[in-house]
Structure 1
Amino acid sequence: MPKKLFVLFLFFTAQLSISQTFIKGQIIDFDTTIPIAFATINYNGNTFSADWEGKFSLYVNEFDKPLVINYKGYYEKYAYPQNNNKFWIIKLTENENAVQKEIYSEHEVDQIIKKVIENKSKNDPELALKSFEYKNYEHLLVTANPDSISEKIDSIVKKNIFGKRKIKLDSSNYKFKNFVKEQHIYQTEKVNLIQHNDQGTKETVLGARMAGLKKPLYEFLGLKLVSYSVYENPFEILEIPVQNPLSKFGRILYSFHMVDSVQINNRKTYRIYFQPKKLKSNHLRGLLFVDAENFGIAQAYFRIYGMVNIDATYTFDYLKSHKIWFPKKRTFNVTKGSSNYDLKLFGETIEFNSSLETGISQNASDRIYLRLESTPMEIKLDNDFTISSPQIMIDVPEKSLSQKDSFWKKYQKDTLDVRKHRTYVSLDSISNAENIEYKIFLGKKIINGYFPVSIVDLDLRSLVKFNNYEGFRLGLGGVTNPKLSEKYKVAFYGAYGLKDEKFKFGITPSYLTDEETETWVSASYSEDLCEIAQTSFATDSHRFKIYDPRPINISTFYKNKMASVFAESKFIPKADTYFSFSRNDITPLFFYEFLNNGKTYSQYTITAAQFAIQWNPFSEYMQTPDGKIEIEKRHPKFSFQVTQALPNVLANDFTFTKFDFKTFYELPYLSGQKSSLLFQTGWALGDVPITHLYNLQPNNLNRDAILQRITFAGKNSFETMYFNEFFSNRYASLQLRHTFNKIRLGYSFTPEFSVVTRMAWGGTNKQNEHIGIPYKSLSKGFFESGVEANKLFKGIGISAFFRYGPNQLAHFDDNLALKISYHLDLF
C-alpha cells in the first residue's frame, strides 16, 4: 500500500510540474527601456515584487489570468503570459500627471543615508586609516559567452543587377562561436601596489602585460574605468564624473527605498535601493548595504542604463581590529545599451547589443562584453612608509614590463579559465605576424604629426600649407629621434611659397639637461612669416592637423627674423614651463607705420623675455620609462604668459609688457554629450605696434555676398568677425559650447550638432599712432552665436553663425556667416 501511495504521489507531482510553466521576465520603461525596480506584481491572488533590475520569475499554470503590475508614476498594466515566451519584457507607460508630483523617499531611510554621509570620515579607508597599502590584481577581458551565440548558418538573399535572386550562406556566427570557445577576444593583466598616507595615494605597477604586445600601452595602464572607492565624489565611470548618491547633493538627486535587512560578516545591514528622482535619467541606480551600527558601506551594486549599460559591484570585508569595511573585490561590466553606435576599445570597433534584447543577434559580435575584476591582497594597515614623488599618481618601472610567468601565477586565482592562456599565445602570434607593435608605434608618431625615417622624424605639418599671401607653401621639416641620441635633438624645416616666391627656414638644436624633469635647453634661428596680432601660448601642445583651416584666408603677415634661446621643463608638479630670450627683426608685409615718441617705424626690432606656464592641477600623471604622461585630463586647465620687451638690449625699439591668461573647462556626460567653456584675456601695456596687439582670431572675409564669404571654420575663432576689423591692447573673451549626441539619420549618416556662443570685450589706446590699417574698438562688446552640424559626410560639416549686439552691422546678411567644417577621427 505505501508503494502505491508513493507511485500515486509521483504521478500527481509529475502532472503538477507538467501543468506549470516557469517564466522569467523584466519590467522596463516604455520609452527609455530603463528597468523599473521593485514594481509590484499581482498574479492569481499572489503579490510579489520585481528585483532592483526589474527582473522577476514565477510559475504560471493559468494563461488566461493576467499579471497586474503597478509602480508609482506609471499606469497600471495588465499583461497576459504566453506559453512560448523564453524571456518576457513588460513595458510600463509613464503617467505624466503622477510623475509631476515629487517622489520622496521615506524619512527613516533618508536619515540612514544622511548618517552614511556624516560618518564618511570614519568609514572611508582613505580618511579613517592613518595609512594602508596592498597589492591589487586587475584582470580585464573582452569576450563573449559561446552559449549565447547561435551556431546556425544563415542564408542571405541578394539580387543581381538583372533582379535575379541569389542565395548566399553566412557562417559568421558559426565561426565566431568556435573562436570564443577557444579563447577570449582580448585581455590584459596588471598587478599594482596601492599606497595611501597623509602624502596622498600612489599606484606603483609591479607587473603589466597586454595580449599581443611585448610592452603594454602606458595610456591603458592609467585608464580608470570605475572609481576605486564607493565614497568618491564625483564618482567616475568610463572616466566621466557622475554625482555620487552618497553625497549631500546626491541626497537631492536620488530617492532611497528600504528593501529589507540582511546579515553580512555576521553584522546587520540595511539593504537600500536608490534611483534618480527623475525616473528617465541615466544617473546611477543600485543597491547599498549599509552597516546598521557604524553606517559604513558593506556592499554596493551600481547600474547605469544609457548609451552603454554598465554595472559595478563592490564587496568588502569587515576588519574588527579597525572597525571598518575594507575593499575585498571590485567588478565592472559593460554591454551596449540604448544606442546604435559602436563602442570602441583598443583601437578596434566592438559592437554591443542592449542587454534587454533577448533574441540571438544576427551579428554574433553583438554578444561581446567587457569585464574588469580587481582584487586586493596582502593588505597592511597603519604602517609607516614614505611615498616617493607623491605628485605622480602612477609609477611604471621598467622591470614591471617584463615579468615572467612565475610572477603571474602568484596572483592569478582563476585556474578554471582555460581560454586565458590560449588568448596570450594566439594574440602574441598574430601580433608578431602582423607587426602590430610597430603599427602602434607608427600610429602614435603620426597622431603627433611625425613620420619616422631612420634617425629623423619627418614633420607632417610642414609638407603643404596654404594662405592668401604665400599661396601654396611647400616644405620639409623634421626632428632627430632617440636613434641618433637621447640627449641631443635637432629640429629643422624649410618652406617655399609659390605665390610670394620666398624661401623660409628654421633650425633648433636642443640638449636634455635633466631627464627626470624633462628639461630641454634650446637655441633657435628662423626667418619666416607670422600672422598680425596673433595670440599664441608657448606651452600649448602643437597637435597634428590634416589641415589648419583658419590661416587659409589670412593675407596680413609680417616677416620675422628671430634668434632665441629657451628652456622647457616639467620641474613644477602638474605644470609645463617655458622661458625664452629672443631678438626679432620685424618687417610688416603690408602698408603700416607706427608713430612712437615722434618717430615713425615701418621696420623695427623687438628684444623680449618671455615666461609661460600651463598648470593642470586636477589632472593625474604617470611616470613611465619613456617620460611623464598626463593620463587623466581633468579640467579646468590654466595657462599664463608674460612677455617683457627689454629696453636698450640688442637694439630693441619699444618697451612694453604683455600679460596673457586662459582657462579651459570641459564637462562630459555619460549620455555622450559634452559642454565646454573657454575664457581668455590679455593686456598689453606700453608702446605696442599693431603686430603685437590682439585680434581675437577673426575668420570672416570682407566680401559682399554670403556665398563669397563661405570658408572653413576655425576651432575657436570668431566666425562673423572680419579680418583686421578689431584690434585691442586689452581684451576678455568667453566661448561656450554644448555638443549633443550623434543623430542617426541613415546607415552612415550620423551628424553631430553643437550650439556655440562667443563674446568678447576689449579696448585700445594710442589708436592714432597706428598708420595704414583703420580698425574699430571692442569697448561695447562683440557677440555671435551659431549652430554646427559636423560630420555630415565623411567628416565634412556645415555651420551657421549670426552676429548681434552693439557691433551688429546694418545689413542682415553682413552679420551671417556660413562655414564648412572638417573633423577627422583618427582613433
Structure 2
Amino acid sequence: MRYILLWFVLLSTAISFGQNKIKAQVIDIDSRVPLAFCKVEYLNKTITTNWEGKFELEIKAYDKPLVITYKGYQTKNVYVSREQEIVIIKMAIDINTFEKVEIYTDNKVNKILKKVIENKKLNQPEKALESFQYKNYESLLVTANPDSISSKIEPIYKKTLFGKRKIELDSTNYKFKKLIEKNHLYQTEKVNLIQYTKKGYKETVIATRMAGFKEPLYEYLGLNLFSYSVYENPFEIMETPVRNPISNYGRHLYNFYMIDSLNIQNRKTYKIFFQPKKLKSSRLRGLLYIDAETFAIAKAYYRIYGIVHINADYTFDYQEKENLWFPKKRKITVLKGNNADDIKILGNTIKFSSSLDPTPNTNATDQVYLIIESTPFDIELDKRVTLQKDGIKISIEKDGLKREDSYWKKFAKDTIDKRRLRTYTSLDSLSESKNLERKIFLGKKILNGYYPISYVDVDLRSLVKYNNFEGFRLGFGGVTNDKLSENYKIAFYGAYGIKDEGFKFGITPSYLIEPQSETWVSASYTDDLNEISQISFATDPRRFKIYDPRPINISTFYQNRAASIFAESKFFPKTDAYFSLSTNKINPKFDYTFVNNDVTYKEYTITAAQLAIQWNPYSNFMQTPKSRIEIEKRHPKFSFQATQTIPGIFGNDFNFTKIDFKTFYEVSYLSGQSSSVLFQTGIAFGDVPLTHLYSLQPNNLNRDALLQRITFAGKNSFETMYFNEFFSDKYVTLQLKHTLNRIRLGYRINPEFSFVTRFAWGKINEDNTHMGLPFSSLEKGFFESGIECNKLFRGLGLTAFYRYGPNQLPTFEDNIAVKISYFIDLGF
C-alpha cells in the first residue's frame, strides 16, 4: 500500500509539472475596459470570458495558441510561456468591421427589462411601502495588500552637478510595506438610523468616529458616496451620476444579454449582463439578477472603468411577508484607473492601483485601494415613522461623538484583521504629532475668510484692498471665536485709505439666542464707504476671495455712518432670515445733488427697516451639534428682500420702498456639462436718491482704447456696460450660461469654455431730479453675449464680450470688452 501511495504522489507531481493553470483577462488595448464574454479557443475546446473579461485555463501544450475572438475586434493568437500565471490579453479594434457591428437586445431580455421598469412601483421599497426604518453600519477603509508590495530597497541613479553618476537607495516601498503590515492607512465608521416616509429620507447619525480626529469632519458625513437604492435615476456611485440602465432612457444606452438563470433564496432569478452600446465608453457595466416572478432586483454588480475603477456590489434579502427584496449589503471598491490621475480623500492625495495590470508596480502607493461597506440591521418595514426637524436630511446626535470602544466591538466583522484595531491608535498619534486636525480646522476657517489667532479670527479680506477712490486701503479686522465664548462674539475692523486719507471703522457685538437655529441678535456701528447703487442681498453667503476684481475700478462712493440692530436666524426649514432697523447718514463723495419736493440735498439721512429671506427648498441640510450645513446644494434658490424707510424717526429725509428678488438655477448634465440661469429684479417706489437706485453691476472702464479697458472679469457683472452709464429705480435682468467640459490642449493647458448671454431692462422715475452725475435710462434694454475661456493655465483665463441691441455704441471697438479671469483652487 505504501508503494502504491508513493507512485500516486510521483505521478501527480509529474502531471502538475506538465500543466500550468493560468488566470487571464481580455481588455480593450486603448480604453483598458474588460471585454465581456469573449470567445477563447484552445485545443479544440471553446470557453467564454466572464462579464469582467476574466477566465481560467489549464495550459497543456505551450506551442499551441489561445485564439481570442470578439465582435468588432481583430482575432488574436496568444502563446503562453511556462513562467506566466497571470495573462493580460489586449484586443485591438478592427476598423473595417467595428463601426458596422450592430448588437440588438434579445427579445426575451427586452421583455424582462420592460417588466422591471413597469414593476418599480411594486418592488422599489420607497414606492411599495408607506414607511420603513433601519439602522445601518457603514465603514470606509483606505488600505493596501502587503503581499502586493515589494520590500526591496531599490537603487536610484542620479547625476551630480558635474555629470558624475551617483547611486542612492530608495527605501520608500520598504517603509510603506512595514506600515501597511501593521495598520490600514485610514478608516472611519458610523452607525445611522435611516427613516423613510412619503415625505422623503431622514438620516440620524447615532455614532461616528474617524481615525485621527477627536471631532469628525461633518462634511464627510454629508457626502452622498453612493445611491442606497438601485432604482434611482440618475444612479450615483462615489458621487458620479450615471444613467440607470433600468430606466426608459437608460435602456437605449445599453445592450442586455441573458446569461443564465439560477436560484437565490429558493427563488428563480434571471442573470442579465449589460454594457454600453458604444463598447469603448466608460459608462456603467454590470450584472443584474432579476426575480422571475416579481421582476425585482435580487442582486446587482456594477463596474465603471475610467480615471478610477469603481466596483459597486449590492445584495438583497427577500422579505416574504412584504413580497419584497430589501437591501442586505452594499460594498464599493475604488482602485486607480487608466492613467496617473489622483483622487483626494479628506485632504490627502491617495493613489489607487489598477486591477487590470498584474505586473509589479515600483510605486508602492499605487497599490492602495478604498472600500466602503454598508450593512443594514434592525429592519422594520411598514412601521409608522415620524420625521422630526423638518427640512433636515441628516441629524447628528451629540452623544454619538463619544461612543466607547465597547460600542464598536459588536460591529467588528473580522476579528482576524488586527490592523483595524491598530489604525485608530496609530492615526490618533500621527494626527497629534502632525497637528492634522488643526490644519483642517484652519483650512475651513480660511475658506470662510478668516485666520484664527488665539481668541480672535482675523478677517483676511480687511487687510489690503484697492479702488480708484481710496487707492490702497490698509486695515485690520476680525471677530472673537469660540475660545472666548460660544454665546457671544464681537466683530470689528479699522482701515485707512492712502489716496483719500480717510479712516474707516466698524464694530458689531452679537449674542447667540438659540444654537440649533443659529439665531443671533446684533448691534452695529460703522463709518465707511459704500459703492453707489449697489445691488446686494443681506442673506447672500460670505465668500472669501483672495482678490475681488470689480471694486478695483470703482470711483464713485458715498460715506455712510450707520447704526443698526439686526437679527439673523435659520429657524425656518431650508431658510436664512434677516431683519434689521438702521439709520444711515449719507454723504456722497462725488458731484451729486438730489432735488425732492423742491428741496435740495447734498447730504441726507435714511432710517429704514429691512427683511431678507434666502430659501433653498430643494437643497439638503445637515444639523450638527454646532451648526446647520448645506450638504447638497440644489436649485432653484430664491432670495427676497424688502426695505422700507420710516418717516419721522432719527431724522429720516425720504419715504420710499424697495423690493428685490432673485433666483438662480443650475443644472449639471451626466456628460459633465452644465447650464445656469440667473433672474433678478427690483423695484423702488417713492423718492429714492441716486445712491440707493440700481446700477446692475457694470464692469467696463470709461476709456477710449480697447487695450486700456482690459481688467479682471467679475462674477455675473455686465462686462461691456460702463461704470455709471445707467441707473434705474426698477429693473429686470436675465443671465444665461452654458459651460462645456474642460478640453485638454496640452500639458497643464485644460481650458473650460462657457457661452454667456445677458439681458437687462430698466426705468427711472422722471419726477425725481438727480443733478451732477449724467446717466442714461435702460428703457430700450441692454444686451451682451460672450465667450469665457476660464482655467486656461494655472487658474488664468480670458473672456470676450460683445454689446449689441438698442444701446449699442456707434464705434465697433467700444462694444467689445476683453477681460482676464482667474479661478483659484485652494484644494480643500
RMSD: 2.8
Amino acid at match of 2:392: I
Moved more, 141-150 or 637-646: 637-646
What is the CA-CA distance between 1:150 and the residue it aligns to? 1.8
Deviations along 1:609-666, one digit per CA (max 9) or x if unpaired, are 3222222222222221112222222333332323334556552424243322121425
Match of 1:77 in 2: 75
Q: Residues of 1 paired with 2:101 and 2:580: CA distance?
A: 63
Match of 1:181 in 2: 181
Match of 1:782 in 2: 783
What is the CA-CA distance between 1:556 and the residue it aligns to? 1.9
1:145 matched to 2:148: no
Amino acid at match of 2:683: A
Match of 1:758 in 2: 757
Match of 1:426 in 2: 426
Match of 2:652 in 1: 651
Deviations along 1:527-555, one digit per CA (max 9) or x if unpaired, are 21111222222111112222222211221
Q: Residues of 1 paired with 2:536 and 2:497: CA distance?
A: 23
Q: Residues of 2 paired with 1:303 and 1:318: CA distance?
A: 24
Q: Residues of 1 paired with 2:286 and 2:56: CA distance?
A: 20
What is the CA-CA distance between 1:10 and the residue it aligns to? 6.5
What is the CA-CA distance between 1:64 and the residue it aligns to? 5.3
Deviations along 1:147-202, one digit per CA (max 9) or x if unpaired, are 11122222221112211111211121111111111110001111122222345432
1:201 matched to 2:201: yes
**TM-score scaled by length of structure 2:** 0.92
Amino acid at match of 2:32: T
Q: Residues of 2 paired with 1:609 and 1:65: CA distance?
A: 89
Match of 2:662 in 1: 661
Is the CA contact 2:390–2:573 (under 8 Å) kept in the aligned structure 1? no
Match of 2:400 in 1: 400
Change in 2 beyond 3 A, CA 1:260/1:449: same
Question: Structure 1, unaligned stretches of length 5 or more?
Answer: none
Moved more, 807-816 or 750-759: 807-816
Is the CA contact 1:470–1:497 (under 8 Å) kept in the aligned structure 2? yes
SS in 1 for 2:431: helix
Q: Matches of residues 112-511 of structure 1 in structure 2 within 5 Å?
A: 112-511=112-511
Moved more, 725-734 or 369-378: 725-734
1:699 matched to 2:718: no
Change in 2 beyond 3 A, CA 1:646/1:337: farther
Moved more, 489-498 or 684-693: 684-693
SS in 2 for 1:702: coil
Change in 2 beyond 3 A, CA 1:743/1:155: farther
Q: Percent identity among equivalent residues?
A: 54
What is the CA-CA distance between 1:756 and the residue it aligns to? 3.6
SS in 2 for 1:740: coil
Q: Residues of 1 paired with 2:47 and 2:264: CA distance?
A: 24
Question: Structure 2, unaligned stretches of length 5 or more?
Answer: none
Amino acid at match of 2:450: Y
Match of 2:563 in 1: 563
Q: Residues of 2 paired with 1:386 and 1:255: CA distance?
A: 42
Change in 2 beyond 3 A, CA 1:70/1:695: farther
How many pairs were matched up?
819
What is the CA-CA distance between 1:432 and the residue it aligns to? 2.3
1:792 matched to 2:790: no
What is the CA-CA distance between 1:62 and the residue it aligns to? 4.5
Moved more, 720-729 or 622-631: 720-729
Moved more, 401-410 or 613-622: 613-622
Is the CA contact 1:119–1:295 (under 8 Å) kept in the aligned structure 2? yes
Match of 2:739 in 1: 738
Moved more, 421-430 or 475-484: 475-484
What is the CA-CA distance between 1:263 and the residue it aligns to? 1.1
Q: Residues of 2 paired with 1:279 and 1:164: CA distance?
A: 51
Deviations along 1:279-315, one digit per CA (max 9) or x if unpaired, are 3333322111110011111101111122221111111
What is the CA-CA distance between 1:570 and the residue it aligns to? 1.1
Is the CA contact 1:761–1:778 (under 8 Å) kept in the aligned structure 2? no
Amino acid at match of 2:695: N
Q: Residues of 1 paired with 2:273 and 2:779: CA distance?
A: 55
SS in 2 for 1:712: coil
What is the CA-CA distance between 1:95 and the residue it aligns to? 4.3
Deviations along 1:217-248, one digit per CA (max 9) or x if unpaired, are 11222222111111223222223433222222
Moved more, 620-629 or 708-717: 708-717
SS in 1 for 2:422: helix
Is the CA contact 2:532–2:690 (under 8 Å) kept in the aligned structure 1? yes
Moved more, 656-665 or 143-152: 656-665
Q: Residues of 2 paired with 1:499 and 1:57: CA distance?
A: 79
What is the CA-CA distance between 1:813 and the residue it aligns to? 7.5
Moved more, 480-489 or 502-511: 480-489
Is the CA contact 2:286–2:303 (under 8 Å) kept in the aligned structure 1? yes
Q: Residues of 2 paired with 1:812 and 1:49: CA distance?
A: 67
Match of 2:55 in 1: 56
Q: Residues of 1 paired with 2:617 and 2:560: CA distance?
A: 35
Is the CA contact 1:636–1:666 (under 8 Å) kept in the aligned structure 2? no
What is the CA-CA distance between 1:257 and the residue it aligns to? 1.8
What is the CA-CA distance between 1:597 and the residue it aligns to? 4.9
SS in 2 for 1:825: coil
Match of 1:675 in 2: 674
Deviations along 1:542-587, one digit per CA (max 9) or x if unpaired, are 1222222221122122222222222211122111112223333322
Moved more, 725-734 or 619-628: 725-734
Moved more, 774-783 or 339-348: 774-783
Is the CA contact 1:27–1:92 (under 8 Å) kept in the aligned structure 2? no
Change in 2 beyond 3 A, CA 1:399/1:111: same
Is the CA contact 2:133–2:385 (under 8 Å) kept in the aligned structure 1? no
1:605 matched to 2:601: no
Match of 1:45 in 2: 44
